[in-house]
Amino acid sequence: QVQLVESGGGLVQPGGSLRLSCAASGSMFSSYVMAWYRQAPGNERELVASINSRGTNYADFVKGRFTISRDNAKNTVYLQMNSLKPEDTAVYYCNTLPAIVFWGRGTQVTVSS
């Protein structure tokens, strides 16, 4: 049984910052590529960032603003989001890459003035 629990979302003004966390239960956490995804109403779920044993990858629309990291000892993945824009508004999810674990409930990020 593997479960993913996202947290850290909220309401923030444009230009603000949030730090999301994803706690994963189960074995072999360090063996998997981990990623953050997001989905806004009317949009498909899209890949935001990923992290593997060699480094990180980012979608063009967040490059330079977001940072993905992981703490394998805590079975936790993080997403530091800076310089937030209204178009970043979405529900943010974590999962493996490719996504082979059941989706959690996600955490809502709303960027608005």
Q: What are the pLDDT digits (tens) for 38-55?
A: 999 999 999 999 999 899
**Please, which pLDDT band fits residue 31 given cuts at 50, 70 and 90?**
confident
Average pLDDT over residues 106-111: 98
Q: How far is CA 25 from CA 2, 18, 69, 82, in A?
A: 5, 23, 17, 27
**Please, which pLDDT band fits residue 56 given cuts at 50, 70 and 90?**
very high
Identify the residue whose tokens are 């079975």.
75
pLDDT at 85 > cutoff 80: yes
pLDDT at 75 > cutoff 70: yes
pLDDT, greater one: 28 or 109:
109
